[in-house]
A = this chain, B = another copy of it.
Amino acid sequence: MRTDYCGNIDSSFVGQEVTLCGWVNKRRDLGGVIFIDLRDREGIVQVVFDPDLPDVLEIANTLRSEFCIKLTGKVRPRPEGQINKQMRTGEIEILGTGLEIFNKSAVLPLDWNQENSEEQRLRYRYLDLRRPVMSQRLKFRAQVTAAVRRYLENDGFLDIETPILTKATPEGARDYLVPSRTHKGEFFALPQSPQLFKQLLMMSGMDRYYQIVKCFRDEDLRADRQPEFTQIDIETTFLNAEGVMEITEGMIRDLFQKMLDVDLGDFPRMTYAEAMKRYGSDKPDLRNPLELVDVADLLESVEFKVFSGPATDPKGRVAVVKVPGGASLSRKQIDEYTKFVGIYGAKGLAWIKVNELAAGQEGLQSPVLKFLSEDITDAIIQRTGAQAGDILLFGADNATVVTEAMGALRLKLGEDFDLLEGEWKPLWVVDFPMFEEVDGQLYALHHPFTSPREMSAEELKANPVGALSDAYDMVLNGVELGGGSVRIHEQHMQSAVFAILGIDEEEANNKFGFLLNALQFGAPPHAGLAFGLDRLVMLMTGATSIRDVMAFPKTTTAACPLTNAPSPASPQQLADLAIATVVKSAE
């Protein structure tokens, strides 16, 4: 129906007749001459309807915003004063000679000139997506997936589909269940990830697998989560952690180069222990120069119990964050930060200001100064490198609280003081513990199929708490882009891990019998990784929510205002599935 996209018409078309299809983005009437901006996926072009062509002008006169039209016209240079070099179409305009209206439009329920509520944007998602910023994000996302696919396919990876209707997995967060009509009283589960299937594919010799695949988690939608999200899922045979990291780092580097013309360089590596110590996080944002500095050794014998208690407790920690220029903080501002760390369980936030001496004030200023000898404060100043104008903020408590609270405070201070340096700071975090202990019970830090690093099953059983896993997370700007591990490929190691996790033989067989079974038939060494595609695209496009890089996301309460899903089922449907609702439905 058309000869080209609106957004592609530039000076090279001058003198040509073109036919375009699209939407009226804006319409102006300047003394009998009608101007419209015509929009399609590729951009916007200016069209003029002239009184010399009264038939066309008459139709043009009826145009309103968002009418869908077909336009024929002649491309000509814009008059001098109207040239806009910022736009590809900014040096030309089209003299409209033919016009057909495909469909009129009612007045839009969204006002693009102001912020609309997210509920309203999702209800009229098809209109929200007409905004160039939104359509460009979906286009960018499609280009990202295409680039990822090409990279992996060129490297011998096969796109293999795994089931969506599958067995419940025990990966912590809750499964979506699907009642079976054929097997009444039984349920499928939607996969939280294709983890076990991709491992089985490696055992079947498929060698290199990838899939860009929907995963599902029925959890509370805090923190920008979605019930369905998309994973770039990768698994390889006969590669170790180093091999997987090389391929996937190469893929992300290639992606940033192609899509954003950014060279990410070689990704540094950091152990989990170092990340927690220096940044109070297993996904440190390295654009933020602030670090946690441990000072417990300096404070063991001070009289101030708030410091000496944690400093002498083997499970305690005392750490300082130095904020350049922070001496200017008011008492009220410090109180705000104290409240902030309180969220993470910190009972207070001691501080020392290093004031400019020229201002005539005391050099060091702090409510806790009286508890500390000059030797000790000197040592702290020296270790933190604090200079005039800075503030030192102290966390002292059990190690978990200090690490979490000061890690979060570090991020907040970085934002508040506008300290972020550089645009993109990727890294690998490695050497995670195999297990974390909560109330005396061990849990897998990644998942129970993760291999320990260079350890026999016997060594692992002897010291599970100290064991490191062969896992690796890719972190970018404080966001976990992806995580993976070398998997267990030996049956006795898998059994040992299940035993450590308190999964008895019956439960193991019931839940993972097929995996344990599969391990006896020449299972190969294998390893993989999964990226969160939504988050990756969100970061790359500068969007602030994953909802803004999905075509049809759910609300934060897991509903779809557009289609009105979920909704009550009919009695007949429920009867067919042999289920009943226990609460009264909302119908």
Interface residues of A (CB under 8 A from B): 1-2, 5, 21-24, 39-41, 66-68, 70, 102-106, 108, 125-130, 135, 138-139, 141-142, 145-146, 149, 153, 158-168, 174-190, 196-197, 200-201, 203-208, 214, 216, 218, 221, 227-228, 230, 237-240, 243, 489-490, 513-514, 518-525, 550-552, 554, 557-560, 562-569, 573, 575-587
C-alpha spacing A550/B59, complex, angstroms? 54
Once the chains bind, are A569 and B206 in contact (CB under 8 Å)?
A: no
Once the chains bind, are A142 and B165 in contact (CB under 8 Å)?
A: no
Count this chain's copies in the assembly: 2
* Contacts A129-B206, A186-B585, A578-B582 known; 8 new A-B pairs at CB < 8 A: A5-B207, A23-B522, A102-B522, A104-B522, A125-B204, A161-B230, A167-B560, A179-B179
Q: Contacting A524 at CB < 8 Å: which of B103, B161, B519? A: B103
Residues of B within 8 A of A560 (CB): 163, 166-167
Once the chains bind, are B582 and A579 in contact (CB under 8 Å)?
A: yes
Q: 14 A-B residue contacts at CB 8 Å?
A: A70-B238, A102-B489, A125-B204, A146-B159, A164-B214, A165-B565, A167-B564, A168-B567, A168-B569, A177-B573, A180-B558, A180-B566, A579-B580, A580-B581
Smallest beta-carbon distance A221→chain B, Å = 8
Once the chains bind, are A139 and B158 in contact (CB under 8 Å)?
A: yes
Once the chains bind, are B167 and A563 in contact (CB under 8 Å)?
A: yes
Residues of B within 8 A of A187 (CB): 566-569
Residues of B within 8 A of A1 (CB): 238-240, 243, 525
Of listed A161, A201, A208, residue having the most chain B CB within 10 A:
A161
Q: Which chain B residue has the least Cβ–Cβ distance from A587?
A: B185
Once the chains bind, are A583 and B205 in contact (CB under 8 Å)?
A: no
Smallest beta-carbon distance A531→chain B, Å = 15
Smallest beta-carbon distance A561→chain B, Å = 9
Once the chains bind, are B579 and A126 in contact (CB under 8 Å)?
A: no
- Given A178-B190, A558-B182, A585-B185: A521 and B142 within 8 A (CB)? no
Residues of B within 8 A of A153 (CB): 142, 146
Residues of B within 8 A of A243 (CB): 1
C-alpha spacing A312/B164, complex, angstroms? 54
Smallest beta-carbon distance A451→chain B, Å = 13
Once the chains bind, are B521 and A586 in contact (CB under 8 Å)?
A: no
C-alpha spacing A491/B9, complex, angstroms? 32
Residues of B within 8 A of A158 (CB): 138-139, 142
Once the chains bind, are A2 and B186 in contact (CB under 8 Å)?
A: no
C-alpha spacing A158/B137, complex, angstroms? 11
Residues of B within 8 A of A186 (CB): 566-569, 585-586
Residues of B within 8 A of A24 (CB): 522
C-alpha spacing A232/B520, complex, angstroms? 37
Smallest beta-carbon distance A479→chain B, Å = 20
C-alpha spacing A583/B181, complex, angstroms? 11
C-alpha spacing A180/B367, complex, angstroms? 53
C-alpha spacing A519/B573, complex, angstroms? 30
Q: Which chain B residue has the least Cβ–Cβ distance from A140?
A: B158
- Given A106-B521, A165-B228: A565 and B182 within 8 A (CB)? no
C-alpha spacing A165/B520, complex, angstroms? 37
Once the chains bind, are B565 and A227 in contact (CB under 8 Å)?
A: no
C-alpha spacing A335/B581, complex, angstroms? 54
Once the chains bind, are A142 and B160 in contact (CB under 8 Å)?
A: yes
C-alpha spacing A25/B150, complex, angstroms? 32
Once the chains bind, are B178 and A176 in contact (CB under 8 Å)?
A: yes
Once the chains bind, are B23 and A207 in contact (CB under 8 Å)?
A: no
Once the chains bind, are B201 and A68 in contact (CB under 8 Å)?
A: no
Once the chains bind, are B228 and A164 in contact (CB under 8 Å)?
A: yes
- Given A130-B205, A576-B174, A581-B184: A237 and B167 within 8 A (CB)? no
Once the chains bind, are A103 and B550 in contact (CB under 8 Å)?
A: no
C-alpha spacing A235/B186, complex, angstroms? 36
Residues of B within 8 A of A587 (CB): 185
- Given A576-B174, A586-B183: A552 and B39 within 8 A (CB)? no
Q: Which chain B residue has the least Cβ–Cβ distance from A42?
A: B207
Once the chains bind, are A126 and B201 in contact (CB under 8 Å)?
A: yes
- Given A21-B238, A135-B205, A187-B566: A214 and B522 within 8 A (CB)? no
Once the chains bind, are B521 and A127 in contact (CB under 8 Å)?
A: yes
